[in-house]
Amino acid sequence: MSKETESTLTLSDDEVLHIEAFYGITVEDSSFLGKGSGNTNYFLETNIGHCVFSIIEEQSREDVELMAKTLEWLEAHHYKTSLLIKPKIQKRNSVILREKPSLLRTYIDGTICHDFSKNMLMQLGAATAKLHTLPAPNFLTNSLFYEQDKFMAALNANIDKNYEGWAKNRLKALAISEIKDLPTSFIHSDLFFDNLLVNGDQFVGMIDFELACIYHSVFDIAMALVGTCCVNGILSPEKSKYLISGYYSARILENNEIKVLKRYTEYAAILTSLWRYWRYKIYQPNENKADKYLEMMKSAQSIQNTDFAELTNIFPAKT
């Protein structure tokens, strides 16, 4: 996570004491780290090293416990991400602060970059493939976060009828539910820049596995293409090739995955646009972000017009 400063968002002395008591640590300093769409994060300097304390604002405690279990599973399989730090005085992995479930994790030294180099993209591709080759845990859902009914219902909100009609038509044309017999695995499902850390020209690791699930591996590649390979809203074939090449270095795609990669990539962009539409136009209207969904609509349209044969035909396929 990248360290930021925000003087108006701090942990109170009582909150720091609460954290120290639960985890048996000494907090030497704390500062605001960043606010995501559903969490608030603080950077802690402690006697056990640098940590991140996250207050999870929009998910249940059961969901947060599942996040913790996911971090434990990743650690057990030696997959690099932030490590869970467990409370000393209770069995549950989450604690309650500000009436919200919260987690303490190790801080990974890295920054967020919004323009990945060839080397970063290849390393991200390889890291994604490695994730997909791990044995799938039995405690995660096999449903995508982005496919929730409340997001799909937003297409009947009659707010932006042109967008709603376009999204309905494209989702129908893609017919993702009709695609069968694809390999499934543990996937991150939200591989955007804000969830990826780098150090110079080196990819450091993925963070924020809150949306992890067991689903088609090709969807993760698709979301990574949407999240890291678009330039000004247009999918870059050059960047896409680097990411796919990196993926192939650790796992070879099957023929049926190659055939549907374009469909899943457009699908990932549409689902992201739909989440933004629901979030910033309906659930929490935000004037500054009200048109963010249109960026993803533009990306989806560029993907529809991209020749994916050029992205994948230079690589071998597994039958």
pLDDT above 50 for 293: yes
Residue 310 has a pLDDT of 86
Rounded CA-CA distance 277/291 in Å is: 8
* pLDDT tens, position by position, 56-73: 998 999 999 999 999 999
Q: Which residues does 182 contact at the CB level (< 8 Å), separation at least 6?
A: 216, 217, 218, 254, 256, 257, 260
* pLDDT tens, position by position, 238-277: 999 999 999 999 999 999 999 999 999 999 999 999 999 9
3-state secondary structure 68-83: HHHHHHHHHCCCCCCC
Rounded CA-CA distance 247/245 in Å is: 5
Cα dihedral 11, 12, 18, 21 in deg (nearest 10): 90
Tokens 């602060």 -> residue: 97
27-35 vs 234-235, strand pairing mode: unpaired
3-state secondary structure 264-308: HHHHHHHHHHHHHHHHHHHHCCCCCCCCHHHHHHHHHHHHHCCCC
* Band of pLDDT at residue 311, cut at 50, 70 and 90: confident
Mean pLDDT of 19-45: 94
Mean pLDDT of 216-245: 97
Rounded CA-CA distance 95/87 in Å is: 8
Using the Cα atoms of residue 305, residue 129, residue 273 and residue 112 in order, give the sign of their dihedral: negative
* Band of pLDDT at residue 4, cut at 50, 70 and 90: very low
* Band of pLDDT at residue 7, cut at 50, 70 and 90: very low
DSSP state, residue 54 = E
Residue 151 CB-half CA count within 13 A: 17
Residue 8 has a pLDDT of 47
| Residue 235 phi, psi dihedral angles, 5° rounding | -65, 130
Helices 217-228, 255-277: crossing angle, 10 deg rounding: 60
Classify the phi-psi angles of 233: left when phi > 0, otherwise alpha if psi is within -120 to 50, otherwise beta: left
Residue 5 has a pLDDT of 42
Closest CA to 44 of 17, 72, 76, 74: 17
Q: Domains in the chain and their CATH numbers?
A: 13-106 (3.30.200.20), 118-312 (3.90.1200.10)
* Band of pLDDT at residue 3, cut at 50, 70 and 90: very low
pLDDT above 80 for 108: yes
Percent of the chain with pLDDT over 90: 92
